Amino acid sequence: MIDIFTTGGTIDKVYFDALSEFQIGPAAIPDMLRENNVHVPHRVTQLMRKDSLELDDADREAIRVAVAASDAARILVTHGTDTMVLTGRVLAGIPGKTIVMTGAMQPASVRASDAEFNVGFALAAVQTLPPGVYIAMNGMIFDPATTVKDRAGQRFVQQ
């Protein structure tokens, strides 16, 4: 069983009309997994619906508590990319769990989104990596302790 915790972020943003900005909508991952015929046993829990720039220390602690309390050894967390590394560092040290974080640079609701690829890649990673905390983005695995987001390059890089 893979526990999937959603927190919001770009992956869950939706655009309602030409006059509005993106807003965080319901978790995109249940529909994404169903539409892509994914059958790996999983359960999805929406922890919050926030842009990662709005997450604070209390939110990060709530994510840590949920991950630590899960009876699953394999955890996938969808998260906004701007502060994903920070939350990944907070999750470090939870014993006996493989924790993989992923997100998207473009909302899942947008045709050219990287969301579906990143989620599929993260699902494979969480099933194969040893215990620890990882970021799975755009075909690469990163250690949150030594990673930063390159906003201009729209990618993560090792320091």
Set 6, 10, 81, 87: catalytic member: 10
Q: Report the distance separating Cα 84 and Cα 81, nearest Å.
A: 5
128 a catalytic residue: no
DSSP symbols for the chain: -EEEEEEESGGGEE--STTS--EE-S-SHHHHHHHTT--S-EEEEEEEEE-GGG--HHHHHHHHHHHHH-S-SEEEEE--SSSHHHHHHHHTT-TT-EEEEE--SS-TTSTT-SHHHHHHHHHHHHHHSPSEEEEEETTEEE-GGGEEEETTTTEEEE-
Catalytic residues: 10
